[in-house]
Amino acid sequence: MRVRPDVEATSAPATKPVLADTRYPYGINGEYDAGMAFYIANCSTCHGVNGDGKGPRAYFILPKPRDFRHPASRHELDRARLFESIAKGTRGSEMPAWDKVLSAQEIANVAEYVYRAFIATDDGRGMDPDDALLALERHATSKIRALADLHRRAVTGLCPGGTFLLEAYTPEQLNYRTGGPPVEEMMMALGTLEEELRGLEWLHAQELVRDVHEGEFHHGAGAVVQLIGRKL
């Protein structure tokens, strides 16, 4: 199992899963806004406004444009590949070679839009079933968890089969005084977490008292909740 340090559920809104971060040729930076305008005007007729390959022209052509949001596309189409594909087109299909009419900068712009809008988004389809989401929530209060819709987003952010791991202090920890802030709001109980994390199948879900030895401020018997869940 790979644990992806770049996909971290924090008390801030969940970060995007970032795929292999390749670059465009000649050190160009793609401009998302310019790319979006170009995509909508020139690509969406085939590739669809949502990138799902269901634009109005797609009905008439074979092979059909792919769904950019499909996991297979997301694993293939990094920035370098997008640049190359858009520049050269796809032989044997209606996909034109855009380097006949666009500059390298313009190709990078539209590639950047495709990349950020459809490939590296946080709707959960960019992740691999082997990926795990490790919850490092730094004592997110129940209010922050609710406001940021934190745990629902964590579940959404996992691909089916993906794993979610969490360990946190429970309210009972207030009696132990061996670590964690003395604020009940910041502790998490098993029942609440199970509710917030609906959509996971529990491989391990337990409240227990265990010895925690993690430096000066976390030392001694600690009341914790441990969860390992798999997205259904």
Give the interface with ligand HEC as residue ranges (CB under 6 A): 39, 42-43, 45-47, 57, 61, 63, 65-66, 77, 81-82, 85-86, 90, 93-95, 98, 110, 114
The minimum distance between CB 42 and ligand HEC, in angstroms, equals 5
The backbone torsions φ and ψ at residue 167, rounded to the nearest 5 degrees and listed phi first, read -135, 130
86 or 155: whose CB is closer to ligand HEC? 86
The minimum distance between CB 66 and ligand HEC, in angstroms, equals 3
The minimum distance between CB 210 and ligand HEC, in angstroms, equals 50
101 or 183: whose CB is closer to ligand HEC? 101
24 or 39: whose CB is closer to ligand HEC? 39
Strands, E assignment, the chain: 2-9, 131-135, 163-169, 200-213, 219-231
Question: Residue 177, class by beta-carbon neighbours within 10 Å (0-12 exposed, 13-18 middle, 19+ buried)?
Answer: exposed
Residues β-bridged to residue 224? 169, 208
The minimum distance between CB 60 and ligand HEC, in angstroms, equals 9
- Is residue 127 within 8 Å of 70, Cβ to Cβ? no
85 or 163: whose CB is closer to ligand HEC? 85
Distance CA 219, CA 21 (A): 39
